[in-house]
Amino acid sequence: MRRFLEISGWSPGYLYVAPHHVTILARCEACGAEREFDRHSVPRSLEYALIPEIEARLRCATCGANAGRLRFGSYLEA
Ligand SMILES: [Zn+2]
């Protein structure tokens, strides 16, 4: 069982400056669904975008809401 520990109060600002050891979860603020975010899934045009610009384009695969937030952190092995 592993749980995700978010780095509180920190954002890289831009996706491309997020260190590769940082795990990114996309969380839907509407239904609470979370899935791991694949930074390589970002289109080239958004490669150097601000985090909020990427969040604005997230659509939840579970409920369809456009209320995604990116969380940065790492998994803790319990
Ligand atoms: Zn959702």
Range of the domain at 48: 2-77
Q: Is the pLDDT of residue 1 over 90?
A: no
Task: Tell me the CA–centroid distance for residue 73 and ligand 1, in Å.
Answer: 20
pLDDT tens profile 24-78: 999 999 999 999 999 999 999 999 999 999 999 999 999 999 999 999 999 998 7
Judge whether 4 and 70 are in contact, CB under 8 Å: no
pLDDT recorded at residue 43: 93
Task: Tell me the CA–centroid distance for residue 55 and ligand 1, in Å.
Answer: 13
pLDDT recorded at residue 2: 87
DSSP labels, 3-14: EEEE-TT---SB
Task: Tell me the CA–centroid distance for residue 36 and ligand 1, in Å.
Answer: 14
pLDDT recorded at residue 61: 95
* pTM, to two decimals: 0.91
Task: Tell me the CA–centroid distance for residue 33 and ligand 1, in Å.
Answer: 5
Task: Tell me the CA–centroid distance for residue 66 and ligand 1, in Å.
Answer: 8
Q: Is the pLDDT of residue 17 over 80?
A: yes
Count how many domains the chain has: 1
